[in-house]
Amino acid sequence: MNHQAIYALYPNVVSVDDTAGAFDKDGNKVQIDMDTVNGWIDPKAYVSKRQAEYPTIGDQLDALWKGGDAAAEMLAKVQAVKNKYPKGTE
């Protein structure tokens, strides 16, 4: 069960149990549409994908310090990652 999707789609849900279901603050069971939950795409999934592929901060700072061609090459590397994983996509 995708807990993150349930919390995002059902703001009244405060707890989720994989076997018992989802519950609101009063302990009432919340009816969940699993097709909707399974189709949900995290709008911030791009963040971790970008972080994994960006050059290290040290390398980025080094390129900025050097300036010129080094800075331009680093900017191109960072921009390529941003283009590969645009905001709002999985």
Listed residue (83, 55, 49) closest to 63, CA to CA: 55
26 contact partners, CB below 8 Å, separation of at least 6? none
| Mean pLDDT calculated for residue range 57-67 | 96
The confidence score (pLDDT) of residue 1 equals: 81
The confidence score (pLDDT) of residue 78 equals: 97
Instruction: Indicate the helix (H) or strand (E) that contains 45.
Output: helix 45-53
| Mean pLDDT calculated for residue range 67-85 | 96
| Mean pLDDT calculated for residue range 26-53 | 93
| Mean pLDDT calculated for residue range 3-11 | 95
CB 60 within 8 A of CB 74: yes
Q: What is the domain partition of the chain in residue ranges?
A: 3-39, 45-84
Could you give the C-alpha distances from 31 to 6, 22, 23, 51, 78, in angstroms and in order?
11, 7, 9, 36, 43
| Mean pLDDT calculated for residue range 20-48 | 93
Tokens for 70, please give them.
């080094």
41: left (phi over 0), alpha (psi -120 to 50) or beta: beta
The confidence score (pLDDT) of residue 89 equals: 63
